[in-house]
A and B are shown apart, each in its own frame.
Chain A
Amino acid sequence: MNTYLLPLTGGVLLGLAAIWLLFSLGRVAGISGIAWGALSGPDRGWRWLFLLGLLCGGAVTHNLVGHPIPTESNAPLWLIACSGLLVGVGTRMGGGCTSGHGVCGLGRQSPRSLLATVIFMGLGILTVFVMQNVTGGLL
């Protein structure tokens, strides 16, 4: 029951978070854009508030709701660093991530976001396949 109910509830909350931000401030809830804009952009105030809220929401899940904290990734740090670097370059170059293109862009029926989502999902699947089958499960 929980294996389906929690992801679904979480997903609906993500959708509502995006709709509320669009409705109230007219902004897209794309995390890569918000995170980079908080450091580099004009209009930093709302972005920092969003990121503060993000951490508060996580704290509520684990401290008040009592949902268990996930275990740490056992991937080597160099691999984690490569992952972060690619995610950083890729999301800026492609103009969004799972939230901006996936949740918000698909909601706006943007062809660019649909294409980006298909590509990054496909490459994510392909990468895990290569890691599992070619490198013999490095992770």
Chain B
Amino acid sequence: MKSWPALISGILFGLGLTLSGMSDPAKVLGFLNVTGAWVPDLILVMGGAVVVTLVLTPLVLKRTAPLLASTFSLPTKQIVDRRLVGGAVLFGIGWGLSGYCPGPGLVSLLYGYQTTLVFCLAMFAGMFLESRISR
């Protein structure tokens, strides 16, 4: 499989996260602070991204295969289970504690901050832990 397109996607994603303000934890916490000094700007990030994916995803999936791979690798799970709900609950709490979700956390490694490094190491530790528990 050719993988160079992933580099382009990553660059666009990194640009999007940093230009939009998502890599600023103070801004993200301000966005989540709905009942306080709410900073609504980041609605436009999710809004802008979802409008693009909502319109274009059906067009892409009309193709029988991706441009450079043999099949689409999409999630097949359809049912709502405890893992989905429990995972989203834990993730939401973690996100609200720092203002970092995985993408912004990783791209913020660029800034060389101790807090970002600790966040990313803890995140990978959590992923590893979950992979052990769920086996």
A interface, CB within 8 angstroms of B:
3-4, 6-29, 31-32, 35-36, 39-40, 43, 45-47, 49-62, 65, 67, 69-73, 75, 77, 79-95, 97-99, 101-112, 115-117, 119-129, 131-133, 139
Contact = CB atoms under 8 A, between A and B. Distances in A.
B21 A45 contact: no
A95 B90 CA distance: 12
Contacts of B16: 9-14, 17, 57
Nearest to B14: A57
Contact of B103 (A98, A129, A131, A133): A98
A108 B61 CA distance: 9
A11 B3 contact: no
A15 B48 contact: yes
Contact of A69 (B9, B15, B36, B111): B111
Nearest to B103: A31
A45 B58 CA distance: 27
Nearest to A132: B36
A85 to B, nearest CB: 4
A35 B106 contact: yes
